[in-house]
């Protein structure tokens, strides 16, 4: 006789049957893996620049030498010139720079603590390899996107973890205790939700001193985004707890002498996790966009440190976009990340929704 599946197993089966959701998970997994191994995958560091190659277009990878011989993957030299309209152009030169895989380059600390100097691919100086082109200071956009992913992707995760905890706790207390406690906490939530999110974000960031170092700015942005995002989740959790506190297992816990806080943490909040996970997954894009907006207008991560938001600051001129459209690559990665989180979150919510409705917990 086949063993009946648990609710979690049924929800996971529904989720994995959605091909779009699985594709979104693979995309997110690849992005986070690239961020984790950015030092290895990126041919250059954050501060490596070549002022001789501003706005250099993406580099072509060749297999044949200029004379037609097969010599393996390599890049050609690049010389900057100006056309008759005084526009900057790059022309290939006869120099050949072999593309070395897992070659020795600028040293770094792998995963933050292991001394290492190998890169996935690299070319010897003075050659340059720009898979996605270069910015105004000749910095490799591909390398900066990988390093910037560490900021843009992790801010979303850390932000929702903090707001997730605050929202669960506040919503659980308000829904379980009710009465005056519920009224006070919900009025606080409404006050936070009443202010437009972006303006509140700007006001809170303006209160943070400009003298902070990049790590402190990173932490400040996480705290600010978390402060904005917890109120909506708390209201939903409060509604679920209003019904959960009348369940038999909660009444049994009361008769056994458990304190109210123990009942909330051990018997009420765990039954809201299924909804909360879906809500949190859908909330991550908002944190990523919030950080990108702050960095775009100069209030977030500052140059030379990279985030996808401050990399887009160069794309605020239509003239630059016209002559160097590759500076829009960070916008593509922001878009694909937000889309993947939304697809995965929708699928996760749809997978759990039948079970929540069956238990009378759907919101």
Instruction: Tell me whether residue 44 is in a domain.
Output: no
Query: Do residue 179 and residue 114 come from a single domain?
Result: no
Q: Please report, for the domain that includes residue 191, its CATH number.
A: 1.10.3720.10
pLDDT tens digits for range 134-163: 988 889 999 999 999 998 898 888 888 888
Instruction: Tell me whether residue 43 is in a domain.
Output: no
pLDDT tens digits for range 159-211: 888 888 888 888 888 888 888 888 888 888 888 888 777 777 777 777 777 77
Which residues, in sequence order, are CB contacts of 292 under 8 Å at separation 6+? Answer: 152, 300, 307, 308, 309, 312, 334
Give, rounded to a whole angstrom, the gap between the first and last alpha carbons of the chain.
35
DSSP string, 156-206: HHHHHHHHHHHHHHHHHHHHHH-HHHHHHHHHHHHHHHHS-HHHHHHHHHH
Instruction: Tell me whether residue 195 is in a domain.
Output: yes
Instruction: Give residue 53's pLDDT.
Output: 86
Quick one: tokens of 218?
């990173």
The count of domains in the chain is: 2
Query: Do residue 120 and residue 163 come from a single domain?
Result: no
Instruction: Tell me whether residue 58 is in a domain.
Output: yes
Q: Is the dihedral of CA 167, 173, 175, 181 positive or negative?
A: negative
Query: Do residue 335 and residue 209 come from a single domain?
Result: yes
**Who has greater pLDDT, 34 or 265?**
34
Query: Do residue 112 and residue 31 come from a single domain?
Result: no
C-beta separation of 145 from 134 below 8 A: no
pLDDT tens digits for range 268-309: 877 777 677 777 787 888 888 888 888 887 777 887 788 898
**Who has greater pLDDT, 359 or 293?**
293
Which residues, in sequence order, are CB contacts of 313 under 8 Å at separation 6+? Answer: 295, 296, 298
C-beta separation of 155 from 292 below 8 A: no
- Of the three residues 138, 171, 191, the one that is the final residue of a domain is 138
Instruction: Tell me whether residue 117 is in a domain.
Output: yes
Of 60, 128, 57, residue with least CA distance to 89:
57
Query: Do residue 187 and residue 294 come from a single domain?
Result: yes
Mapped to the 3 state alphabet, what secondary structure does 342-363 carry? HHHHHHHHHHHHHHHHHCCCCC
* Tally of CB atoms within 10 A around 262: 12
Q: Give the domain range for residue 86.
A: 51-138
Side-chain half-sphere CA neighbours of 359 within 13 A: 18
Which residues, in sequence order, are CB contacts of 143 under 8 Å at separation 6+? Answer: 38, 42, 43, 44, 45, 46, 48
- Of the three residues 138, 173, 191, the one that is the final residue of a domain is 138
Instruction: Give residue 113's pLDDT.
Output: 78
Residues present in the chain in total: 363
Query: Do residue 281 and residue 326 come from a single domain?
Result: yes
Distances (CA, A) of 210 to 197, 214, 224, 299, 300: 21, 10, 15, 9, 10
């Amino acid at each position: 006789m086949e063993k009946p599946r648990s609710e979690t197993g049924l929800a996971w089966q529904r989720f994995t049957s959605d091909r779009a959701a699985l594709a979104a998970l693979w995309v997110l997994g690849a992005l986070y893996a690239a961020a984790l191994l950015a030092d290895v995958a990126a041919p250059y560091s954050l501060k490596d620049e070549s002022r001789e190659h501003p706005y250099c277009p993406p580099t072509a990878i060749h297999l044949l030498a200029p004379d037609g011989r097969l010599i393996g993957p390599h890049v050609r030299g690049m010389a900057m010139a100006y056309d008759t309209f005084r526009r900057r152009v790059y022309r290939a030169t006869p120099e050949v720079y072999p593309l070395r895989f897992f070659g020795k380059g600028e040293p770094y600390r792998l995963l933050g603590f292991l001394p290492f100097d190998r890169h996935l691919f690299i070319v010897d100086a003075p050659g340059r390899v720009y898979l996605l082109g270069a910015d105004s200071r000749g910095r490799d956009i591909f390398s900066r996107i990988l390093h910037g992913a560490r900021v843009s992707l992790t801010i979303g995760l850390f932000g929702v973890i903090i707001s997730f905890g605050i929202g669960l706790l506040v919503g659980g207390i308000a829904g379980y205790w009710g009465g005056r406690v519920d009224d006070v906490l919900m009025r606080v939530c409404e006050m936070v939700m009443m202010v437009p999110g972006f303006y509140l974000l700007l006001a809170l960031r303006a209160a943070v001193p400009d003298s902070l170092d990049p790590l402190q700015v990173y932490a400040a942005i996480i705290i600010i985004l978390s402060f904005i995002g917890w109120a909506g989740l708390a209201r939903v959790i409060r509604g679920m707890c209003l019904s959960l506190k009348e369940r038999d297992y909660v009444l049994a816990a009361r008769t056994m002498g458990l304190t109210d806080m123990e009942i909330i943490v051990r018997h009420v909040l765990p039954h809201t996790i299924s909804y909360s996970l879906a809500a949190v997954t859908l909330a991550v894009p908002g944190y990523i966009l919030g950080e990108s907006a702050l960095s775009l207008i100069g209030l977030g991560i500052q140059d030379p440190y990279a985030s996808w938001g401050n990399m887009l600051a160069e794309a605020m001129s239509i003239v630059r976009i016209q002559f160097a459209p590759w500076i829009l690559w960070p916008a593509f990665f922001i878009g694909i990340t937000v889309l993947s989180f939304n697809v995965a979150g929708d699928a996760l919510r749809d997978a759990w929704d039948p079970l929540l409705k069956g238990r009378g917990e759907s919101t």
